[in-house]
Amino acid sequence: MTTRQRLNLLSRAYPRLFPRRELLRLLEEQLGQVDALDKWFRRPGSLTWSQVRAPGLVYHICAGNLAVSAQMSLGHGLLLGAMNVLKLPGDRDDLSTRREILDFIRGLPAPLRKLVKTERELDPALLRRAEVVIAFGSDATMASLRAQTVPAQKFIAHGHALSLLWLAEPERFGSKEARACAVDVLTYDQLGCLSPQAIYAPPGARISEIGGKLARALETAWRKMKRKPARPITVAARITEARDVAHGLGHRVWLPPTKHLGWTVIHDPKSAFRPSALHGIIYLRQASPAGLKRALASVAGKISTVGVAGKMNAASEKTFLDLGVTRFCAAGKMQFPPLTWHHDGRPVLAELVTWIDRET
């Protein structure tokens, strides 16, 4: 099967997740040519001919809380024509994630499905046979997995990360911006590394007004959601705990009119970052560009994406770059990076393959 055939099968099965045009762009951008895996091609401005070899076996260790990262990772492996083994989330994880991953595999056309195998338990022998290991999880998980790999293997670790929203022009924060922020907060129930855990605004921002607009936008978005995220006991308990802690601390809290557990906005007067309990809980904090550095020092190097509402100035951008941020995007787009996105700053396809050069 050629790359184009696999590309067509993948984009036909999942056109929203893998739009055809974006897949073509991804191949061109990262491999130099759409057909780079299938034939020799001359690199522009060079006398060298190249071909790209896909890994024989890719071992994916899936995150327990979100299916989309596994789906994307598998999609990359399939596009390359590799054999893919997925270590599914275990029983201690959210079982709906495992179900979603399995549903995704079932929805693949047969020729692609043949390239996928799943496992409930980690198979160390198979793990060591894989040319590439892609893993999602905590630093501890990464360290343990890395110890089980051999030096010749490519180990691509997507450790835990978080994302933020930055209100670059708070005076222009209107209902459109609030709607965009609400999309970022509610998509995937805040469980992904691209989900914002806090909204930062510069000093002087009218927090009361911003919080009110955001609350209204969140409620509207929540009502429109066709599939609302579940709120089992453990999740509900965390949400109510976060609300009560905020009340106890005297923070301003915006709740839905019926106090449902879909979303919560909390104004934390301290700028220092603290993780959100997620599941729709978003903190509003204020910090100047200089203050941001201190406020986010505890998570420097762990910030994936900064969604920006308004136009960011150079000072703020530099602060975020110094903190190791690898992606900026418009508010409302945080959860929907293009396929050509450099995940954790790395090219998603180029890093998996091997280049073969023929010099003339």
Partner 1 sequence: MPFDFASPAGRRAWRAQLLAPIDEAKWERLTRELFAWQFARMPAYRRICEAHSVTPKNLGSWREIPAGPQQLFKREKLFAHSSARPGAIYETSGTTTGEPGRQHLLFPDIYRDVSVEGARRAGLFQRHVQFHFLTPSPAEAPRSSLSAMFGFWPKAAKQSGNRFWIKRGKFDLPRLRGVLAEQVKKGQAVAICGTAYSFVHLLDAWADLPLALPPGSWLLETGGFKGRSREISQIELYAELSRTFAVGRDAIWNEYGMTELSSQAYARGVGGRHQTPPWARVLICDPVSGKEVPPDRRGIVRWIDLANVDSVLAVQTLDLAERKADGFRLLGRMARTEPRGCSLGIEDLLSVK
Compute the least distance from the CB of residue 197 to partner 1, in Å. 8
Comparing CA positions, the residue from 261, 103, 250, 290 lying closest to residue 189 is 261
> How many C-beta neighbours within 10 Å does residue 267 have?
18
Compute the least distance from the CB of residue 241 to partner 1, in Å. 5
Residue count of the chain, please give it.
Answer: 360
Contact partners, residue 109, CB within 8 Å, separation at least 6: 9, 12, 13
Nearer to partner 1, 150 or 236 (CB): 236
Nearer to partner 1, 71 or 197 (CB): 197
Compute the least distance from the CB of residue 340 to partner 1, in Å. 19
Nearer to partner 1, 166 or 173 (CB): 166
Compute the least distance from the CB of residue 313 to partner 1, in Å. 26
Reading the block at residue 240, the tokens are 């109510």
User: Measured between alpha carbons, how far is 73 from 327 in angstroms, rounded to an integer?
Assistant: 18
Binding site for partner 1 (CB under 8 A): 63-66, 69, 89, 92-94, 97, 136-140, 158-162, 190-193, 195, 197, 231, 233-234, 236-241, 243-245, 247-250, 253, 261, 275, 277-278, 298-302
Can you say whether the dihedral through the CA atoms of 25, 29, 32, 35 is positive or negative?
A: negative
Nearer to partner 1, 181 or 193 (CB): 193
Nearer to partner 1, 161 or 284 (CB): 161
Nearer to partner 1, 93 or 119 (CB): 93
Question: Is-contact 25 347, C-beta < 8 A?
Answer: no
For tokens 């954790």, the residue is 344
Comparing CA positions, the residue from 241, 325, 333, 329 lying closest to residue 279 is 241
Compute the least distance from the CB of residue 89 to partner 1, in Å. 8
Compute the least distance from the CB of residue 67 to partner 1, in Å. 10
